[in-house]
Amino acid sequence: MKKILFMILSLSSFAFSKSPDLILKSANSDVNTMSKDGEMISELTGNVVFFYDDAIIKSKFAKWWKSRGTVSFSDNVRIDRKNQKITSDHMDYDKAKKWLIADGHLNFYDAKERVKLTGDHGTYYLDKKFLVVEGHPQFIFYDTAAHDTLDIRGKKMTYDDSLKKASVYENVTVAKGSLFTHSEAAYYFPDSGRAQLRKVPRIAYQTDSLSGDSVDLTFTKKHLQHVKVNGGSHGQYKDFGASDTTLTHLFGDSISMFLTDSGKIDSMWAFGNVKSKYFPLKNPLSTNEAYGKLMTVSFNGRGEISRVKVWGNARSIYNVDEKDGRGRNEASGDSITVSFAKGKATHVKLSGSVRGFYAPQPAAVKPQPDSGIQEKPKVAPKKEVPQ
């Protein structure tokens, strides 16, 4: 019987327990006045300290409307929580809404997560540990293992301390080292090093770029490790050679880019309705193309394309330069592998249901100096060749 009574009393105490409230700990001076409507107002100066649950709120001046449950803090306002600190020029506390409205030089820092948020204005929900920042908000993640930091900016920003999630909206930019992105919405998770870009995301990495309907980024402690683009994906890669620059366009339903520890592109994978176009900028008409359902583009240690492999109704169109002339090779099969050297396709390997042909291309003929009439080039007929 006693146990049952104890359980009932415990449940009753839990059901009717009050949520945390603001408690005054100290102040050098406390001057109380009565307003015309009979409300007690306290003006606190010097070493003002309030408690709210596990948070300590400090300032040099505070005005407290006791019956309303509101406090106006000013002059070096600071909130301390475990591993966290918030500072601002001015803060207003509202007991009914359980929030603090901050104005002027808002600065939030989490030492454990190495996260910093700054802005002109903010709303901090004390119970939820949820922060909203506006007015040039900036999110910075400090990485002790890297030389650069992750810098996120936008028009509006929130940070959920419980979920360890930062959300940024409108004209969002993300920068870290050689990476720069733009989107209309972004979400970052410091614990896992993941970032999600939404609403027209675009990525620039060194001289390369990616775009699509949505983008997911994965960071390690030192660098960007993986980029995944979903929906209407398009990647662009530049290969700077000694005499010319080649440009690669890669299209697909989704594209994944993997990077090495040194920050160079290791490989790119494209899935669904894949198309690749590769050509030198000095001769854009000499375009190499590949189509299929799945494609991988591999790069060597110098960042040059070394191999392209296509699976699933694979088809390729490549221009080949040989000692005895030049030609155009069109082929199809279950899979196609194209190897490159110094920015040029060296050979093509096909597997499964192979078909194709090689068409020699005409060589340019110099005009005769006497007659001024240029002889028409001779065109060799197309011929089927075994692959």
Tokens representing 180 are: 């720069």
What tens digit of pLDDT does each residue of 100-116 get? Answer: 999 999 999 999 888 99
Query: How close are the terminal C-alpha atoms of the chain, in Å?
Result: 90
Q: Which pTM value belongs to this model?
A: 0.78
Would you state the pLDDT for residue 8? 37
Q: What is the mean pLDDT of the chain?
A: 83
pLDDT in tens, 225-268: 999 999 999 988 887 766 777 788 889 999 999 988 777 888 88
pLDDT digits over 7-27, tens only? 333 433 333 345 578 899 999
Distance CA 92, CA 80 (A): 16
Per-residue pLDDT, averaged over 166-185, amounts to 94
Distance of CA 333 to CAs 61, 203, 347, 353, 358, Å?
78, 33, 15, 5, 15
Please spell the DSSP secondary structure of 310-351, one letter per residue: EEEEEEEEEEEEETTEEEEEEEEEEEEEEEEETTEEEEEEEE
Q: What is the pLDDT of residues 276-319, one digit of tens each?
A: 887 777 776 678 888 899 999 888 877 777 888 898 888 888 77
Q: Does domain 77-384 have CATH number 1.10.1760.20?
A: no
Contact 331, 315 (CB under 8 A): yes
State the pLDDT confidence band at 376, using cuts at 50, 70 and 90. Answer: low
Q: For the chain, which residues make up each domain, given as ranges? A: 77-384
